[in-house]
Amino acid sequence: MVRPHRRPRDRPARRPTTARRRVPRTDRKRATRVTTRFPAGTFTPDPRPNAPHLMLWAQTRLELLLLLRNGEQLLLTMFIPITLLVGLCLLPLDGLGEHRIDNVVPAVMMVAVMSTAFTGQAIAVGFDRRYGALKRIGATALPKWGIIAGKSAAVVIVVAIQALILGTIGIALGWRPELAGLALGAVAIAIGTVTFAAMGLLLGGTLKAEIVLALANILWFVMLGIGSIVFASDQLPDALRFAARLIPSGALAHTLREALDLSIDWFGVAVLAVWAAASGWAASRLFRFT
């Protein structure tokens, strides 16, 4: 036996679920007014990488600021070349030729390029890898070639500042170059900077920081001695002078001196180009972020 459904006497009748008169305030359909200071789409995710030239400029600016704010780098890139230029021009030294200033200025320019682009760059990259800075940069959208190009561009800017300062001091000491020679010398410095920057990236991007620190300084002294052979007296054997021109420092020294004398050393340019191509290719293949 089933009892029929009945409503208790003391309970009121249930109201219908559908609204009869008006919709509650929370259920009304009306335009939502949003007051904000930001335009629509400001916080919309846009995971695309930035333009390559903008990423390259940002990396170049960062590397340039790091170079100019480092006291050790300024000592290596500014103080030592300026001291060499003033000392070799004013001290009574033999073996520098009749026109001393014409030999000293390109020699010091070679030292400045080598110090900034090779030694300083290799040491900076080695310790950036050690402390994990390059690892964090490598995790961004910037490709490996962008990191190398950004560092090289920053070095080129610093070398241009060096050349301007050293040239001004040289003129104050009696150096009188031709305008055409200055133009050719600027091209030679640019080629040498690219070469030594590629070599510095190869050294700093493949070995441990401690090894890079020791090896970069040793190679700096070795290449400094090789480059000075080009400016030595003619009493040295021709074979030794030719062998010195096969090394980047000797090739840059001879090319720069010939350029300031309104001549082009195509052999030196070829040597620098080969070293730059080989070092750049090896750096792009072997460069490691850690």
Which residue in the block uniquely carries the two structure tokens 């104050």?
172
The 10s digit of each residue's pLDDT in 71-85 is: 777 777 788 888 888
What does the pLDDT read at residue 188?
92
Q: What is the pLDDT of residues 105-137, one digit of tens each?
A: 888 898 899 988 898 889 888 888 888 887 887
- The string of DSSP codes covering the chain is --PPP---TTSPPPPPSS-SS---GGG---PPP---SSPTTTTS---PPPPHHHHHHHHHHHHHHHHHH-HHHHIIIIIHHHHHHHHHHHS--SSS-SSHHHHHHHHHHHHHHIIIIIIIHHHHHHHHHHTTHHHHHHTSS--HHHHHHHHHHHHHHHHHHHHHHHHHHHHHTT----HHHHHHHHHHHHHHHHHHHHHHHHHHTTS-HHHHHHHHHHHHHHHHHHHHHHTS-TTS-HHHHHHHTTSHHHHHHHHHHHHHTT---HHHHHHHHHHHHHHHHHHHHH----
Specify the DSSP class assigned to residue 37.
S
Output the pLDDT for position 5. 60
Task: Determine the pLDDT at residue 196.
Answer: 92
d(CA 77, CA 86) in angstroms, rounded, equals 15
| Intervals of the chain under pLDDT 50 | none
Count of alpha carbons within 13 Å of 225, Cβ hemisphere only? 6
pTM (global) more than 0.85: no
Is 81:111 a contact under the CB 8 Å cutoff?
yes
CA-based torsion, 162, 168, 170, 172: positive or negative: negative
- The dihedral through the CA atoms of 85, 188, 71, 211 has a sign that is negative
pLDDT of residue 214: 92
pLDDT given for residue 25 in this prediction: 60
What pLDDT sits at residue 234? 63
- Using CA atoms, how far residue 149 sits from 59, 66, 85, 98, in Å, is 9, 15, 30, 41
Question: Which pLDDT does position 290 carry in this prediction?
Answer: 78
